[in-house]
Structure 1
Amino acid sequence: MLNKLEIGVIGLGKFGFFVAQRLMELGHQVVGLDGNPDNVRRAQEALTQVYQGDATDKKVLEQLGFAEFNNVVVSVGSAMEASILICLHLKEIGVEKVWIKAISWEHEKVLRKIGADEVFFPERFGAHQVALQLTNPGLIEYMQFGQGVLMQKLTVDEWAGKALRDLDLTKKFRAQVVAVRKAGSPENDFTYLPSADDVLNKGDELVVIVQEEMLEKLKP
């Protein structure tokens, strides 16, 4: 890992705790804050440091050193007023990037107006993922950095015997192959960023980044 980050997570309920736990698994240091003693106890052995306190109190955030974090994630459930106040305080004490959970479009508007850098709706994103995976077998991920960009798994049939260079997928379908698993290989034995000269065989599995409207035109 090139950069080991120290990240603050405020709100250690289900979503906040899972985010914090995953950040730890990725090798980062995570400092958690929650007012619920049960949430604090659950997180103590999983995170770098955990505090019990009121995150809506600006002095608490300052005393616990949250001003020193470049990134702070805020997930305080349905407490709209609390999340707005926490976001305001974090920006005032100099946190560079605040990632915060919203519960409505109106909530998102307010958060952005007071300086939230990234606003997310876990339930909405999860529902969108399920719907897409249900209707697009092989979908790995709906990618948020572009409009309708998918990461899709495809199995080679008609493309057998051709090299990636010959297929010219980027020009024809605005698609890019990022990984290949040869037919008969172990399930997770992918070759990433394959050579354009690699020849495909029937049954090979491709991981492709493609715009959603082009997906049905791909006939591997």
Structure 2
Amino acid sequence: MAKNGQTLVIGLGRFGRGVAETLGKLGHEVLGVDASARIVQACSTGMTHVVQADATDVEALRQLGAADFPTAVVAIGSDVQASILTTYTLVDLKIPRIWAKAITAEHGAILERVGAHRVIFPERDMGVRMAHSLVGRTIDYLEIDENFVLVETTAPREAAGKTLQDAGLRKRYRVTVVAIKRPGGRFTYATPDTVINAGDVLVIAGEPKSAELFADLD
């Protein structure tokens, strides 16, 4: 079944199942694999292709046609050894793009060492987002990389009634307002002539310290 744009997802816990089902909703073909018969049975109603197999066994993956997939996601959670062995097996099969979930920094370092092209830390990243959302006026926080973030926050009082150009937020706080949403409205792109009102929600972009400082304004 593997063609360009199709994805192999190994490990169908909450994270892996979420990845697989979302890709399916986006119109992608997904093959889900898990070692647990119970989990495979539970996923069979929400996924078109799901099989029970030991993903650490290279011959089992070959029989599933894993080598023909352009992308694989290793979503195995608490079993670190299985996660590493599965990633190594996928590398051995020369899959062009391998994403792997890690639960600790050490786990992530090993996954990178064995050949994962990208390592993700969903629990850590969600913890960072939640912590920032508990501080100041931050509603949501997304780290693009270590030097750049997107922050959803409410408009500070000092900017109310002013256009973005007059408020001078980029010059004063080194952040760029990307989008704005009126109460009860939808997000729209921000322009220099956009007027900021009390209660507006802004999406800002910038370096972490600058964005955090802006989100902490009264």
Give TM-score, length-normalised by structure 2.
Answer: 0.85
Q: Is the 8 A contact 2:148 2:205 kept in 1?
A: no
Q: Which residue of 2 aligns with 1:139?
A: 139
Q: Deviations over 1:116-171 (max 9, x none)?
A: 11222332222222222112433312314233624131225322332223334334
CA contact (8 A) 1:156 1:205 kept: no
Matched letter for residue 155 of structure 1:
A
> What does the per-residue CA deviation read over 1:103-124, in whole Å, with 9 as the maximum and x for residues that have no partner?
3333222211111112223322
Distance 1:137 1:170, change over 3 A: closer
Residue deviations 1:25-72 (CA, integer Å, cap 9, x gap): 333322100111111111122123111111111122222222222221
Note closer, same or farther for the CA distance 1:208–1:121 as it changes in structure 2 (3 Å cut).
Answer: same
Give the distance between the partners of 1:146 and 1:25, measured in 2 at CA.
30
- Tell me the residue number matched to 1:116: 116
Of residues 106-115 and 128-137 in structure 1, the stretch that sits farther from structure 2 once superposed is: 128-137
The match for 1:178 is 178
The answer as to whether partners of 2:152 and 2:201 remain within 8 angstroms in 1 is no
Paired letter, 1:164: L
For 2:190, the equivalent position in structure 1 comes to 194
Report the AA paired with residue 205 of structure 1: V
Kindly provide the amino acid, as one letter, of the partner of residue 145 in structure 2.
Answer: F
Deviations 1:67-99 (A, max 9, x none): 222221112222222211111111121211211
Alpha-carbon spacing, 1:201–1:78, altered in 2? closer, same or farther (3 Å): closer
Identity of aligned residues (%): 37
When residues 125 and 217 of structure 1 are mapped into structure 2, their CA distance, relative to the original with a 3 A threshold, is closer
Taking a change above 3 Å as real, the CA distance of residues 201 and 82 of structure 1, as seen in their structure-2 partners, is closer
Deviation at 1:11, TM superposition (A): 0.6
Instruction: Tell me the secondary structure at the aligned position of residue 134 of structure 2.
Output: helix
Q: Is this contact kept in 2: 1:150–1:210, CA < 8 A?
A: yes
Given the alignment of the two structures, is residue 208 of structure 1 paired with residue 204 of structure 2, yes or no? Answer: yes
Q: Which residue of 2 aligns with 1:98?
A: 98
Trace 1:48-59 onto structure 2 (pairs within 5 A): 48-59=48-59
Question: Structure 2 regions of 5+ residues with no counterpart?
Answer: none
Matches within 5 A, 1:5-16: 5-16=5-16
Q: Provide the aligned length of Structure 1 versus Structure 2.
A: 213
RMSD: 2.3
Give the SS at the match of 1:158: helix
